[in-house]
């Protein structure tokens, strides 16, 4: 959400929740007394203040009034209205601003009755760090870095890495970090295999490197043909001057650029910078396939599976997807789609406002662009068919789990827990989640054990994890089962662990979760696990039972996640420096000090005058650093 929208909007409390207005249509009518006619966004709230639905309107009062006519609403929306206890609205200057604010709210609040873009992991970009004499080409996710130029987005990290490899071969730009660059005196292997120009060892001048950077930027910006012509002229000139080695290097760069175009272009004659977005819907499920085209190059494609799309048409899902998808990234000037979009002009206006330049949405009817869109639609259909087939197999396994453990219905959420530590150090408990769509990695959780825990006391660790997972929800409302509670709770352990966890859950008031412990036999052979439940004696499943394999996968995934979490924590502790505890020394000053003195010990042994010779360290900071390592000097100075 942009700052301009924040400034434009003003929040209006449309209902006083403390007065407990009636639910449903009466709650909406109560809210209508204070809702204005201006454009804006409305939020329907449940009895606990949770956001049920977010919508936008050209006229808030007219739009919200439509929810009082229940006979004209679909069943799904009537249910949402019946759960509504209060409403809140935010006014905006225009309907386009309201559209952007609506998408921002939906992504952030994830209402139960809105179409949701679930897989909103940040996309990778290609970054050139231009705040260095020898800029680095690298991959970047997350917030932009100052002093850098970006190209993208790319569909995956693999697509970015492939492009970086091609740029290394064609333009010989370095991909190593600044720390590695500053610590080298001899060129690395990439120089030997002609994928870097060796600036770390002064094998290229800053002027020549800057020329390579300029050519790479032109290529990434789509100036391919002009660049190739210029390089061909340079190659001929070098050949005529008998500089055959230089001519061969330029020839290799021309070949690299040509191979880059051949391997990645979708259709350079008709597409420059665009996203190709195709929707496909089958059996109430929807897939949206996005191809990223920048500078006439295909930056890869990626499928998305929006949630809560039951009863929504492909066009409505596509419109909601576009607004949420471009909420945190600039849209390209052209978006090619395969379906008519409701309120297309309004969406174009909103995306133009988001990009600060004109954005056009086009549904091609014929020609090359139509072929590209059809290709994206085919990819969307195939991805959705694969997903439906996988989900059908997953659903069958979950039905098997219900049968094995005597559940009244097929489980939708299975949580598996495990611990990892070394003699109580870097102790972590973890939770992984499985369900109808496989492993739900967005729901995974890490619990750093706060203790104090006696080394090796796994029961105490599990108690802390269970209390942190279930304690708060159980205390808030013990009579109502929270939506995010599991149907099955699987722990790795035998009868002792089972009894300990069952006791903890009983103390917390958790009675409607099926508890299962999975334990290997005395010989600890996989395939001969024993299962412990509260309903009877422990039992084993047939060695080749698919349900057994599935439960083993859940157990092994929890174990993998626990070990990885523990190792990362331990590695982070090993990388920690004495300088991390020095007041006033952040990442930039820490790097400058280490580059200057070579180690934390060198910084500790340095005098105040030596410290001031480091870039970014003034007299006051130097005195603070020196005083941190020499507290006796501080006491003497104070006296």
348: helix, coil or strand?
A: helix
pLDDT value for 453: 65
pLDDT tens sequence across 267-292 = 445 688 899 999 999 878 899 999 99
Q: CA–CA separation, 475 vs 460, rounded Å?
A: 21
Residue 336 above 60 pLDDT? yes
Higher-confidence residue: 320 or 610?
320
Assign domain 414-573 to a CATH class: alpha beta
Q: CA–CA separation, 477 vs 512, rounded Å?
A: 14
pLDDT value for 56: 94
- What CATH homologous superfamily does 3-109 map to? GIY-YIG endonuclease (3.40.1440.10)
Residue 609's alpha-carbon distances to 600, 605, 625, 628, in angstroms, are: 17, 12, 12, 15
pLDDT tens sequence across 508-534 = 888 889 999 998 765 555 567 899 998
Bridge-based pairing of strands 125-129 and 86-91 is unpaired
Highest mean pLDDT among 8-22, 42-56, 166-180, 498-512: 42-56
Q: CA–CA separation, 555 vs 559, rounded Å?
A: 6
Q: CA–CA separation, 548 vs 419, rounded Å?
A: 22
pLDDT tens sequence across 183-219 = 888 888 888 888 898 999 889 999 989 988 988 888 7
Q: Please, what is the average pLDDT of the chain?
A: 83
584: helix, coil or strand?
A: coil
- Are 289 and 310 in contact by the 8 Å Cβ rule? The answer is no
Bridge-based pairing of strands 414-422 and 488-492 is parallel
Residue 41 above 90 pLDDT? yes
Q: Where are the domains of the chain?
A: 3-109, 125-264, 274-385, 414-573, 578-638
Residue 141 above 70 pLDDT? yes
pLDDT value for 635: 64
pLDDT value for 17: 46
Residue 4 above 50 pLDDT? no
- Are 21 and 30 in contact by the 8 Å Cβ rule? The answer is yes
The yes/no answer on whether domain 578-638 falls in CATH 3.20.20.60 is: no
Higher-confidence residue: 538 or 241?
538
- Are 53 and 44 in contact by the 8 Å Cβ rule? The answer is yes
What number is the average pLDDT over the span 259-266? Answer: 49
Higher-confidence residue: 626 or 373?
373
Which residues is 128 bridged to in the sheet?
137, 149
Q: CA–CA separation, 67 vs 46, rounded Å?
A: 15
- What CATH homologous superfamily does 274-385 map to? Ribonuclease H-like superfamily/Ribonuclease H (3.30.420.10)
pLDDT > 90 in the chain, percent: 35
Q: CA–CA separation, 604 vs 451, rounded Å?
A: 33
What number is the average pLDDT over the span 337-366? Answer: 92
pLDDT value for 636: 63
What number is the average pLDDT over the span 623-630? Answer: 83
pLDDT value for 310: 82
What number is the average pLDDT over the span 104-111? Answer: 91
- Are 435 and 456 in contact by the 8 Å Cβ rule? The answer is no
Q: CA–CA separation, 389 vs 282, rounded Å?
A: 12
What number is the average pLDDT over the span 371-389? Answer: 90
Residue 390 above 50 pLDDT? yes
pLDDT value for 258: 64
Higher-confidence residue: 199 or 12?
199
Range with lowest mean pLDDT among 289-298, 399-408, 446-455: 446-455
pLDDT value for 225: 67
How would residue 442 be classed by pLDDT, with cut points 50, 70 and 90?
confident
Higher-confidence residue: 183 or 260?
183
| Full DSSP string of 251-319 | HHHHHHHHHHHHHH-S-TTT-SSEEEEEEEEETTEEEEEEEEEETTEEEEEEEE--BS-TT--HHHHHH
Residue 5 above 50 pLDDT? no
Domains 274-385 and 414-573 share a fold: yes
How would residue 544 be classed by pLDDT, with cut points 50, 70 and 90?
confident
Lateral strand order in the sheet of 125-129: 136-140, 125-129, 148-151
């Amino acid at each position: 959400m942009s700052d301009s929208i924040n400034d434009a909007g003003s929040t209006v409390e449309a209902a006083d929740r403390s007065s407990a207005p009636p639910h449903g249509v009466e709650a909406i009518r109560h809210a209508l007394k204070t809702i204005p006619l201006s454009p804006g966004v409305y939020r329907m709230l449940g009895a606990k203040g949770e956001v049920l639905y977010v919508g936008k309107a050209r006229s808030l009062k007219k739009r919200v009034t439509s929810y009082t006519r229940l006979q004209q609403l679909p069943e799904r929306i009537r249910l949402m209205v019946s759960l509504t206890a209060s409403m809140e609205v935010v006014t905006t200057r225009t309907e386009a601003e309201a559209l952007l604010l609506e998408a921002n709210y939906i992504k952030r609040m994830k209402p139960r009755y809105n179409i949701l873009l679930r897989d909103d992991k940040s996309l990778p970009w290609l970054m050139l760090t231009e705040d260095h004499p020898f800029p680095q080409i690298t991959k970047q996710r997350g917030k932009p870095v100052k002093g850098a130029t970006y190209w993208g987005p790319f569909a995956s990290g693999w697509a970015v890495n492939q492009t970086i490899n091609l740029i290394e071969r064609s333009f010989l730009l370095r991909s190593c970090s600044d720390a590695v660059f500053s610590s080298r005196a001899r060129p690395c292997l990439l120089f030997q295999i002609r994928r870097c120009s060796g600036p770390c060892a002064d094998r290229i001048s800053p002027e020549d490197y800057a020329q390579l950077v300029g050519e790479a930027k032109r290529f990434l910006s789509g100036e391919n043909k002009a660049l190739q012509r210029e390089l061909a002229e340079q190659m001929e000139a070098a050949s005529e001057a008998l500089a055959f080695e230089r001519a061969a290097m330029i020839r290799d760069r021309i070949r690299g650029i040509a191979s880059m175009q051949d391997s990645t272009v979708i259709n350079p004659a008709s597409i420059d910078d665009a996203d190709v977005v195709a929707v496909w819907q089958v059996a109430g499920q929807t897939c949206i396939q996005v191809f990223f085209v920048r500078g006439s190059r295909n930056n890869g494609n990626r499928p998305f599976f929006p949630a809560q799309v039951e009863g929504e048409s492909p066009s409505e899902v596509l419109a909601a997807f576009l607004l949420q998808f471009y909420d945190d990234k600039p849209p390209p000037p052209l978006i090619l789609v395969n379906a008519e979009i409701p309120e297309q002009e309004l969406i174009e206006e909103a995306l133009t406002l988001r990009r600060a330049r004109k954005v056009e949405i086009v549904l091609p009817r014929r020609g090359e662009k139509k072929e590209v869109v059809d290709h994206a639609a085919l990819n969307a259909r195939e991805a959705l068919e694969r997903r439906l087939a996988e989900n059908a197999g997953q659903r069958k396994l979950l039905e098997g789990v219900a049968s094995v453990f005597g559940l009244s219905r097929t489980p939708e959420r299975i949580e598996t827990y495990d611990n990892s530590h070394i003699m109580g150090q870097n102790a972590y408990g973890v939770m992984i989640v499985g369900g109808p769509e496989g492993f739900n990695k967005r729901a995974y959780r890490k619990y750093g054990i706060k203790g104090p825990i006696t080394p090796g006391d796994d029961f105490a660790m599990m108690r802390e994890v269970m209390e942190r997972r279930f304690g708060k929800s159980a205390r808030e409302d013990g009579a109502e089962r929270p939506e995010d509670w599991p149907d099955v709770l699987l722990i790795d352990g035998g009868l002792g662990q089972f009894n300990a966890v069952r006791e903890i859950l009983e103390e917390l008031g958790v009675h409607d979760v099926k508890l299962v412990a999975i334990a290997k036999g005395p010989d600890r052979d996989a395939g001969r696990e024993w299962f412990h439940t509260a309903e009877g004696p422990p039992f084993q499943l047939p060695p080749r039972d698919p349900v057994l394999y599935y439960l083993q996968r859940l157990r092994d995934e929890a174990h993998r996640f626990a070990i990885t979490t523990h190792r990362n924590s331990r590695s982070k502790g090993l990388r920690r420096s004495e300088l991390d505890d020095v007041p006033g020394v952040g990442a930039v000053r820490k790097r400058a000090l280490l580059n200057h003195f070579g180690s934390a010990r060198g910084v500790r042994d340095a005098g105040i005058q030596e410290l001031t010779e480091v870039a970014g360290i003034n007299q006051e900071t130097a005195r603070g650093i020196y005083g941190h390592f020499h507290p006796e000097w501080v006491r003497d100075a104070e006296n």
